[in-house]
Chain A
Amino acid sequence: AQSVSQHNHHVILSEAASLELGCNYSYGGTVNLFWYVQYPGQHLQLLLKYFSGDPLVKGIKGFEAEFIKSKFSFNLRKPSVQWSDTAEYFCAVTLTGANNLFFGTGTRLTVIP
């Protein structure tokens, strides 16, 4: 069955620390990969996406993610987090050409000033 796994449920970091959030998926076909962020009280917003090409994709606010096909992973990274990065982060996958997104359970990031 198709699934998306985010192994970290809650991550607590100090400002300026580096961040890496894990995402693994299990799908047989060609996939499109996304990271969404949900700031407190706000809607889901797209951080970055991978459709094809360079497996290292850069998104908004200094985030990047690397697609490693052999590991079925799409980990999110940021070299230096800020307090304003406190939010819930969701990895999502869709099969190429399909409509529906499959989400991971989300990772709550708390950044301590």
Chain B
Amino acid sequence: EPEVTQTPSHQVTQMGQEVILRCVPISNHLYFYWYRQILGQKVEFLVSFYNNEISEKSEIFDDQFSVERPDGSNFTLKIRSTKLEDSAMYFCASGQESGSPLHFGNGTRLTVT
């Protein structure tokens, strides 16, 4: 069964540094998402992406965050200047069409020190 893959599985970075989290969605999916889960808290929506542009974003997704689909297969989340509170598990997901069930990757654990 096709999978969403995320790299790296764990990223440690210093406060103020830029990080890029990478995802390869399922190939025939058209909708792409980033979610995050701070330890002990709920999974939170960050952003959705369709047709090469952001279709929806949450208030968490401020100017420090950006997403890109640079080459038709990868889908990246960039955090420009990381803060301690950005430490979380970041999940990428993809869906075939709007409202369809999402397929999630294994997540990237980001630790900001």
A interface residue numbers (CB < 8 A to B): 4, 32, 34, 36, 42-46, 49, 51, 90, 92, 94, 96-106
Contact = CB atoms under 8 A, between A and B. Distances in A.
A43 B4 contact: yes
Contacts of B102: 46, 101
Contacts of B48: 99-100
B18 interface: no
Contact of B99 (A92, A97, A102, A104): A97
Interface range for B: 20 to 34
B106 A43 contact: yes
B98 A98 contact: yes
A40 B41 CA distance: 16
Nearest to B47: A100
Given A44-B93, A99-B50, A99-B98, 10 more contacts: A4-B42, A90-B43, A94-B99, A97-B99, A98-B98, A99-B48, A100-B33, A102-B45, A103-B42, A103-B45
A98 B99 contact: yes
Contact of B45 (A46, A49, A101): A101
B90 interface: no
Given A44-B91, A44-B104, A94-B99, A99 B43 contact: no
Given A43-B105, A49-B101, A103 B44 contact: yes
Contacts of B41: 105
B33 A99 contact: yes
A69 B37 CA distance: 28
A97 B98 contact: yes
A29 B49 CA distance: 23
A105 B91 contact: no
Contacts of B104: 36, 43-45
Interface in B74-100: 91, 93, 95, 98-99
